[in-house]
Amino acid sequence: MEAGGGGRAVVRPSPRLRGRLRVPGDKSITHRALLIGALAEGQSLVEGGSDGLDCNSTAACLTALGVRIERLGEAPGGRIDRRIRSPGRAGLRLEPGQILDCGNSGTTLRLLAGVLAGTSLQALLDGDASLRRRPVARIIEPLRSMGAGLSAREADTVPPLSVHGRSRLRPIDYTTRVPSAQVKSAILLAALVAEGTTTVRESVATRDHTERMLGSRGVRIEVRQGNEGERAVSVEGMMPVRAMDERVPGDLSAAAFFLVAGAAHPDAEVTIEGVGVNPTRRAVLDILRRMGADLDERTLPAQGAEPAANVTVRSSDLRGIDLGPRDVAGAIDEIPILCLAAAAARGRTVIRGATELRHKESDRLGGMAVGLAALGVPVEVEGDDLTIDGRPGGLVGTDLKALGDHRLAMTWAVAGLLAPGGTVISGAGSVDVSHPGFFADLERLHS
């Protein structure tokens, strides 16, 4: 395997996959530990956080806002310890005219907008070409109704996003229009300065790291779960956020690539150590089990407010399944690699209601369909549904494009492990967004 810069990687099949790996710290939890650490006056340590470009974008924006963030030591396997010293929300400052560059990171942009909505600052948030195509109306609407001033390009639909904060906001009772942890979190972070209780309702439970972290830092937060999987999260405003150390578990979304590689490979046994298995994030494990994957979870002591486990995968006889909108919401970042699992499985997989995939770092629905077809897999897209006819042992090596999307680059790398002939990935350097050592880790499993 050769990998290079922003450029090309060539991945070839390996006769056996064996080994134990630690993946980078969870990206979603790292963003939150940095942002919530910045809201708390004083010192917080973030141990084992992600050193990917996305989390570094969050750290750089916070530094521009006057938060001191120090990197402690090396970053083995994309995990880094950081010390945060913050003046607290009221002490955040910004040089006039300075743009907050969120890079490729939708989480940085949307969560930071929630933080800034509750300050007396005026800020402009921007990012790369991919981020400039991603929807922001979904946060503008609720944050405006709380009293903050927000506007964006093209009739308030896409970044750059301007935020004119207020140090006191109105509480709201808001039902999200799409299942989105970013929208929910932006509202909850703004709600910390609301004069009363804010409630966010969602029809499907999305990742709850913000709720857990705020709760463990002394904020009064209540979660009510309905019978159909819907949730209501209420947070009380005007409560201080305590500075606190956080230990970040491994990123299950990063682990998913190796888990599918192991399950689909004919001779594999791979363990991912210390990975987060939060119930709102673990859908990928449950979906892989439904597909027949041989997965074994060993529970570890919780990492702060987050459950963790060692997860072992062995070669499996995968079969196609039907996935609906709830599955898509629960495994939103893992759908690309689950599509590859489907391509390597016996029978048909149908994924329904994958609309949100079109609004990620790339149009992942379109990108997956093109790439899978090039790998020789019969695939059909109809509206926002995807049908994949699996071909166990039938992928053929080819040239694939990452389209500037880290999760497509990693999906195609796993395809390269299974497809005879060599798979060439252009734009492979995008893996640095979430997993800087990805190709080295993949190489380590070859034996």
Per annotation, catalytic residue among 251, 333, 389, 441: 333
Q: CA-CA distance, 85 to 243, in Å (whole number)?
A: 9
Least Å distance, CB 54 to ligand S3P, is 8
- Residue 79 CB partners (closer than 8 Å, separation 6+): 22, 24, 25, 48, 49, 50, 51, 248
Our measurement of the distance from residue 76's CA atom to the centroid of its chain's CA atoms, rounded to an integer in Å, reads 20
Least Å distance, CB 97 to ligand S3P, is 29
Q: Residue 86 or 182: which CB sits closer to ligand S3P?
A: 182
Record the tokens describing residue 411, joined without a space: 């999906």
Binding region for ligand S3P (CB under 6 A): 28, 31, 107, 180-182, 185, 207, 332-333, 356
Q: Residue 89 or 184: which CB sits closer to ligand S3P?
A: 184
Q: Residue 183 or 413: which CB sits closer to ligand S3P?
A: 183
Residue with tokens 């060993």: 298
Q: Residue 31 or 89: which CB sits closer to ligand S3P?
A: 31
- Residue 82 CB partners (closer than 8 Å, separation 6+): 34, 45, 46, 49, 59, 69, 70, 71, 72
333 is catalytic: yes
Least Å distance, CB 90 to ligand S3P, is 25
Q: CA-CA distance, 50 to 54, in Å (whole number)?
A: 9
Our measurement of the distance from residue 388's CA atom to the centroid of its chain's CA atoms, rounded to an integer in Å, reads 24
Strand partners, 173: 199
Q: Residue 210 or 315: which CB sits closer to ligand S3P?
A: 210
Least Å distance, CB 412 to ligand S3P, is 18
- Residue 305 CB partners (closer than 8 Å, separation 6+): 212, 213, 215, 216
Least Å distance, CB 333 to ligand S3P, is 5
Provide the annotated active-site residues. 333
